[in-house]
A = this chain, B = another copy of it.
Amino acid sequence: MASTALTFSDRDAHRAWLISQAKLPAGFRVGTTRLEFIPREAPKPAKMTLTLIALDQPTPNFAAMFTKNALPGAPVIIGRRRLNEPTLGAIIVNNKVSNVCAPGGVETSEKICAELAKLLRLAPGQVLPSSTGVIGWGLPVDAIISALPHTTAALTGDSIMPAAEGIMTTDLYPKVRRASVGAGSIVGIAKGAGMIEPNMATMLVYVLTDLAVPRATLRAALTRAVDVSFNTISVDSDTSTSDTVALVSSGRAPCADPAAFEAALTQVCRDLAEDVVRNGEGVRHVMRVSVSAAATPAFARAVGKTIVNAPLFKCAVAGNDPNVGRLVQAIGKYIGASAPETDLSRLRLRLGGIEIFADGVFQLNPEKENALVAHLRGAELYASAPPEDGVFTAAVDYPPHERCVEIEVEIGNGAAAAIVIGGDLTHEYVSENADYRS
């Protein structure tokens, strides 16, 4: 899915590459501030970063898509309203507290927007708020308002890296992707690990462009790009209450070719989506499932999602164990429950390019088994090391390569296809989500 499968000699090389991608498009500035506070719901102090993305001029051309979770965060409720505003001037993001179903959450978030608007000479409705972090806690509104002047004072127009790092929570590294289109560029950042709602994180994505694309075109392009990128990934099947993808155009560069813009936007979204999985909590293998010859695109995607969400297959991949019986189980589980009349007589499966199932039966032998193990090992981001205290942590922060476990599924009853990206299920995931108290 990534435009190029990168490998990095070391962490510094990866970081240098990210910095090279991070130049802000014309018309934007970013700034961050750290603050400390004591949550009402917990006894010990917590730290938060405020990240501000500001436009030099408010723009009518912005788009945003939000979580489908039926119990969304206050910023999502406000964000949906903002889509009806004539222009957008700034985005204010906090981590640590997601402001979901907290008493007075919407009012708190609106108050922060209003205070920031005063500092930036905007109307409150021109500020889009985003929050990510613990679900259930309320925002420390006074501490945030006190920190806003420091945040606006920190605004600079050079690199998006401070924002890419400022929105991180349990992320191991900042995620930045860019594409150039004619005289302009598209730069996106992401935090979180996809559909998962980790200890104190959710997925947030901000894509900035200087290309002059009208609001309606922008929103239609974002909907299509998200459908083939963020909507095709899953780390652990959990859908956060705060997921947000925003796309903002400053209009500083002409956009002569809307189709080229949408293609570049789609690539940036796909790259970021794959990054989000690669940085998923505890992910040691990224799985790319290509489903083809299916009756419909929705069916193809559902089969792919079933595979990347099947806990036993995910565990097998974590262990570099080509337990392909679990792969067949996952496919049969979905089809048996959802479309039991499907003809599976032409089902074919490949793992790492090696045929493992055809003509209704497994195609296995000891030589293939060895090759399958080698493929899984080659896609491993790092080996798991048993820690002395039993709490597993990631052995790398910046991933050393972008290789995936490649799974191909030919259903054999149509011409539709889909690609789905997911991660394995590891001790590192369980440690991150069970061994620490939030």
Contacts and interface: CB of A to CB of B under 8 A. Distances in A.
Interface in A376-402: 384-392
Interface in A421-438: 425-427, 429-431, 433-438
Given A336-B67, A386-B389, A389-B386, A364 B136 contact: yes
A271 interface: no
A318 interface: yes
A7 interface: no
A36 interface: no
Interface stretch (A18-26, A222-230, A337-345): A337-345
Copies of this protein chain in the complex: 2
Contacts of A326: 135, 197, 238
B72 A332 contact: yes
B318 A434 contact: yes
B70 A101 contact: no
B101 A319 contact: no
Contacts of A391: 386
A316 B433 contact: yes
Nearest to A98: B325
A342 B71 CA distance: 11
Contact of A328 (B100, B311, B323, B429): B100
A323 B426 CA distance: 20
A333 B334 CA distance: 19
Contacts of A42: 366
B135 A238 contact: no
A353 interface: no
Contact of A332 (B69, B357, B430): B69
A238 B328 contact: no
Nearest to A282: B430
B312 A344 contact: no
Contacts of A361: 101-103, 105
Given A67-B336, A241-B328, A434 B72 contact: no
Contact of A238 (B100, B238, B310): B310
Given A71-B328, A438-B321, A312 B196 contact: yes
A329 B390 contact: no
Given A101-B357, A319-B436, A425-B430, A41 B364 contact: yes
Contacts of A315: 429-430, 433-434
A332 B71 contact: yes
B329 A197 contact: yes
A360 interface: yes
Given A71-B335, A134-B325, 16 more contacts: A70-B332, A70-B335, A71-B328, A101-B361, A102-B361, A103-B362, A136-B328, A237-B311, A238-B312, A239-B336, A311-B429, A312-B433, A316-B438, A321-B438, A427-B430, A427-B431
